[in-house]
């Protein structure tokens, strides 16, 4: 979910993604209210990913995450983690990353529509005026 969000919201420098805490991470819409069981499953699944990486101590992250040579154990661990995360959002088996991103933007819109207005006393802000003026 986060990688789909990052690929859509993050910038690029040549072919490399530009990850920004202010644009990508801080605006990522986390699941609304995952159960304790879902959180525990995600934590366990994340640990399985880390354990799978440890099976290959001489491999760099570039080696481990090369789509053509990714170790099967690591791939399976990530797939299980992805399923656990999607369940925390109340969804199963998104058809594509486009569907994931559309879902995340709907959730983002829901969350941000609950934020209080930046204008004073309910008056609309004048065009060009900053909220802190």
* Tens of pLDDT, residue by residue, the chain (133 residues): 988 998 888 888 888 887 878 888 888 999 988 999 999 999 999 999 999 999 999 999 999 999 999 999 999 999 999 999 999 999 778 899 999 999 999 999 999 987 776 665 555 555 555 555 4
Please tell me the pTM assigned to this model. Answer: 0.74
Taking the CA atoms of 41, 42, 48 and 54 in sequence, report the sign of the dihedral they define: negative
Q: Are strands 11-13 and 16-18 parallel, antiparallel or unpaired?
A: antiparallel
Residue written as token pair 């900053």: 130
């Amino acid at each position: 979910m986060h990688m789909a969000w990052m690929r859509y919201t993050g910038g690029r420098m040549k072919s490399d993604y530009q990850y920004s805490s202010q644009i990508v991470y801080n605006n990522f819409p986390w699941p609304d209210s995952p159960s304790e069981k879902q959180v525990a499953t995600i934590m366990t699944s994340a640990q399985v990913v880390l354990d799978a990486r440890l099976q290959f101590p001489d491999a760099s992250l570039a080696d481990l995450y090369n789509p053509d040579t990714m170790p099967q154990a690591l791939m399976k661990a990530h797939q299980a983690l992805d399923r656990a995360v999607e369940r925390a959002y109340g969804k199963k088996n998104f058809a594509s990353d486009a569907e994931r991103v559309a879902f995340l933007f709907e959730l983002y819109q829901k969350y941000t529509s609950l934020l209080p207005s930046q204008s004073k006393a309910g008056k609309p802000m004048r065009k060009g005026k900053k909220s802190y003026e």
